[in-house]
Amino acid sequence: DAGVIQSPRHEVTEMGQEVTLRCKPISGHDYLFWYRQTMMRGLELLIYFNNNVPIDDSGMPEDRFSAKMPNASFSTLKIQPSEPRDSAVYFCASRGPSRDGYTFGSGTRLTVV
Amino acid sequence: GQQVMQIPQYQHVQEGEDFTTYCNSSTTLSNIQWYKQRPGGHPVFLIQLVKSGEVKKQKRLTFQFGEAKKNSSLHITATQTTDVGTYFCAGHPTTSGTYKYIFGTGTRLKVLA
């Protein structure tokens, strides 16, 4: 199993541009989570899905952020328009029926200039 | 709101010394998980504790869950340079109606050879 796959690994974009982050969870995992990590705020849960359905999006900072999970093997996190304060590492994680810990992807390091 | 704090925030130890990080929740937890994140890497699941007073060991690592299920600790015996990284606890509040875990603030461990 290749684990949770995120793309791109690094993204540098200009303020105001749209950014799309992608995630492929582990096959068979029914929960998918999007986290943001910064030095100041640590690991913050943005949104999570169960069986492709968004369950809790209370951590999504504002309307500029949106997330979708059109099928069990793919999810996107979109920021439109992006701002410098969105600069962070964004992690996707999935969790399976065994209900052990999360498996995190390698993350996307986003820099908005 | 619900919070999970970890102390210390940073710890520098000489190789061979022991290390302990403590995790304290403002609310009772149904279970707690521990993760390790190497510098530049992503969080990796170490273990999950479920029962009050539970103690689990993984080689040089000992994990404890408090009797009141509001605190936990991770102890590393005879640290090695490979133990360098940030250790996070993640708690699931018993009152949570959702499936989200609250990550602690993390303890960054540096091991000096």
Distance from CA of A17 to the nearest CA of B (A): 26
Convert the pLDDT of each residue in B4-26 to its tens digit: 999 999 999 999 999 999 999 99
Convert the pLDDT of each residue in A24-79 to its tens digit: 999 999 999 999 999 988 999 999 999 999 999 989 988 999 999 999 999 999 99
Put simply, the answer to whether B41 touches A106 (Cβ < 8 Å) is: yes
Convert the pLDDT of each residue in A27-40 to its tens digit: 999 999 999 999 98
Q: Please name the residue that has the structure tokens 């190789």.
A: B15
- Measured between alpha carbons, how far is B33 from B12 in angstroms, rounded to an integer? 23
Convert A99-113 into a string of H (helix), E (strand) and C (coil). CCCCEECCCEEEEEC
Confidence at residue B89, expressed as pLDDT on a 0 to 100 scale: 97
Least confident of A7-16, B15-24, B85-94, B98-107: B98-107
Runs of H (alpha helix) within A1-113: none
Confidence at residue A97, expressed as pLDDT on a 0 to 100 scale: 81
The residue of A4, A33, A43, A99 whose CB has the most chain B CBs within 10 angstroms, and thus the best one to mutate to test that interface, is A43
